[in-house]
Amino acid sequence: MIEDLENITVKELFQLEEETFNKYLKLQELLKPLDNFCGYEAKALSHLEFGQVANLKEYFNEPTDAGILDAFKIVFGVKERQYFAADVVSYFYALNWIKIEVEKLVALEVKMLSGKPDPLMEMAGADRLQVFKELPILKRLGKEYGQPPQVIETWKYNFIFSLLLLDIVETDVQENYNQLKKTQKPR
C-alpha cells in the first residue's frame, strides 16, 4: 500500500529492491508537478541554453539515473549531494514538473516547427538525419551566423526556437506570394 511507504531520500530510493521501488513509482504517479526542489525554483526551459534543452529532451526520451541527476542540476541548479539527500516526495514533485515541461516543449516543437511534409525528401532518406538530433540545426545556424555549432548551442533555447519559426513563416509567406503572383493577370 502506498500509505505505508516511508518518506525516504533519493539516495535510499535508488538502493531499494525492485518491488519496493515500483511501489514508490506508483506514488510518483499520484503527485502533481511542482516547480520547486530543495528550496530552488525551476528555471523555465525556454530560458535555458539550446544545448541544455536538447540534453533534457534526451534524458527524458531515454532516462538514466545520471541523466535525471543532470536534469535536476540544469533545471534547479542543485548539487549532487543535495539531490541525493532530498526527500523522495519532493523529488517526485520536481521530476514530474520537469517531465511535463519537456513534454510540452516537444509538443510545441512538433506543432510549430514541423513544416509541410515533403514526400521527395522522405524518399531521399531525410529520416536518416534524425540520428544527428539537433546537430543539423546547429550546423545550419552556425553557417548562417558565422559561428561554430558549439557556440550556437549556448544560445538561449527561446531565441533559436524563434529563429527556426521565423524561417518557416518566411518560407510559407514566400510560397504564398509566389502562388499569388502566378494567379495575377498581367496589366
- Whether residue 134 sits in one domain with residue 82: no
- Whether residue 98 sits in one domain with residue 26: yes
The answer on pLDDT for 55 being more than 60 is: yes
- Whether residue 143 sits in one domain with residue 72: no
Q: How many domains does the chain have?
A: 2
Q: What is the pLDDT of residue 60?
A: 96
- Whether residue 13 sits in one domain with residue 83: yes
The answer on pLDDT for 160 being more than 70 is: yes
pTM of the model as a whole? 0.88
Q: What percent of the chain has pLDDT over 70?
A: 98
- Whether residue 105 sits in one domain with residue 25: yes
- Whether residue 105 sits in one domain with residue 153: no
- Whether residue 60 sits in one domain with residue 23: yes
- Whether residue 130 sits in one domain with residue 99: no
- Whether residue 100 sits in one domain with residue 123: no
In tens, the pLDDT along 131-149 reads 888 999 999 999 999 999 9
Q: What integer is the mean pLDDT of 76-83?
A: 97
- Whether residue 100 sits in one domain with residue 64: yes
Q: What percent of the chain has pLDDT over 90?
A: 80
Q: How far apart are CA 17 and CA 20, in angstroms?
A: 6
Question: What is the residue range of 175's domain?
Answer: 119-183
The answer on pLDDT for 82 being more than 80 is: yes
Across 57-66, 126-135, 166-175, least confident range? 126-135
